[in-house]
Chain A
């Protein structure tokens, strides 16, 4: 018999009412109303201010309007858990449109295991009704073509056309830098790459 360890607690869907626990004011509870978990960048955070926004689409192309997303990222200099930068955020899809957004900074490059650098990216987790175990993906940045081409994670994607599913497109609106990141849960051609890491 192999050595016996504890087994990880199995996952269950976050369900349609995840907002009560995760973002109670979105659920309509008059509590924690000052919390702005989708605002990741503070006054002292190092890096270029950006808005990361998008939508989660299901296998029929319909928006997933009850999704909750979490992000985790380095600051603008590539440091996780940096002073003055919490690095974690949480946002809900809009109940009417499915659109979500974070206010944050563009992260710097971070090291891969062998000392090579990873292209700047934000880790994204997706929770929703119908998702039995949260999905894990990454948002990279369209203006980092050179770094993306050398990124060890993006290079591991065998079907090269699927690399595009991890690239957030840079644009501008009202004087603000906006990156758009659309997540396709299920798609014949352009299903988002999800990780087991």
Chain B
């Protein structure tokens, strides 16, 4: 195992567990304080996903439902880098995404929203970052959709993002939003995050530099995982 401990999570920056404006959190939030401990080998290691676990179309949501047709909606490239808090790239790590279709409907047995399924869209993708922490997907921009929270709240258009990093301590699941969406400030789930600067990190930016002419627009979304400290003066027993 290489490297030191991961920087502590700033729990005031993340959403707290108990956020009554998001009603489902009320009964699913621990009441006891988290037990704060130093990391050991199981927190400082994690699964190593290799390219043979992935299919070549896994990062292309325009094609990976494999129906031969193309989904309806605004075609976009979603790309960015996975970095740590020290701005070091996180290479060869698994990033997974899932999303609703352009009408705001998920292809999921439990989604009963009246908007139609798209016969050519699954909404599931994954990729490994390259040596410099870069990733890219091709998909459609998802639509907003209503949900039962306070009557009919509306989710801002979003894509769910899951990242592993190099250790279980870095595991992160989040959602990205789209620059300019007027539903962002109205969304109770966005607003579980207390600091507007933190919310700002979840907003993918229109990236005209990477748009493909006469094909698709591009959005950029960078992910930052916990950083790993140096171990300059630390002298610990073998096996740490």
Q: Which A residues fall within an 8 A CB radius of B? A: 5-22, 24, 27-29, 31-32, 58-60, 62, 64, 66, 70, 72-74, 80-81, 86-88, 95, 110-115, 118, 121, 123, 125, 127-135, 153, 156-157, 162, 185-186, 188, 191-197
Contact = CB atoms under 8 A, between A and B. Distances in A.
B174 A9 contact: yes
A27 B84 CA distance: 31
B206 interface: no
Given A17-B106, A28-B109, A133-B14, A12 B28 contact: no
Contact of B41 (A110, A127, A195): A110
Given A113-B38, A194-B35, 15 more contacts: A6-B224, A9-B172, A11-B172, A18-B98, A28-B109, A64-B28, A88-B46, A111-B41, A127-B173, A186-B29, A191-B30, A193-B32, A196-B11, A197-B36, A197-B37
Nearest to B197: A7
A79 B26 CA distance: 39
Contacts of B65: 31
B97 A21 contact: yes
Contact of B27 (A24, A130, A157, A188): A130
A12 B175 contact: yes
B225 interface: yes
B28 A195 contact: no
Nearest to B43: A197
B34 A20 contact: no
A19 B160 CA distance: 11
A7 B85 contact: yes
B28 A29 contact: no
Interface string B43-80: 10111100000010000000011100000000000000
A134 B198 contact: no
A27 B35 contact: no
Given A72-B42, A194-B34, A31 B223 contact: no
Interface string B96-109: 11111000001111
Given A81-B45, A132-B15, A14 B160 contact: yes
Contact of A14 (B13, B108, B173): B173
A8 B226 contact: yes
Contacts of B30: 135, 185-186, 191-192, 194
A196 B37 CA distance: 7
Given A21-B124, A127-B173, A194-B34, A185 B86 contact: no
Contact of B9 (A8, A21, A153): A8
Nearest to A20: B98
Contacts of A110: 40-42
A106 to B, nearest CB: 15
B169 A10 contact: no
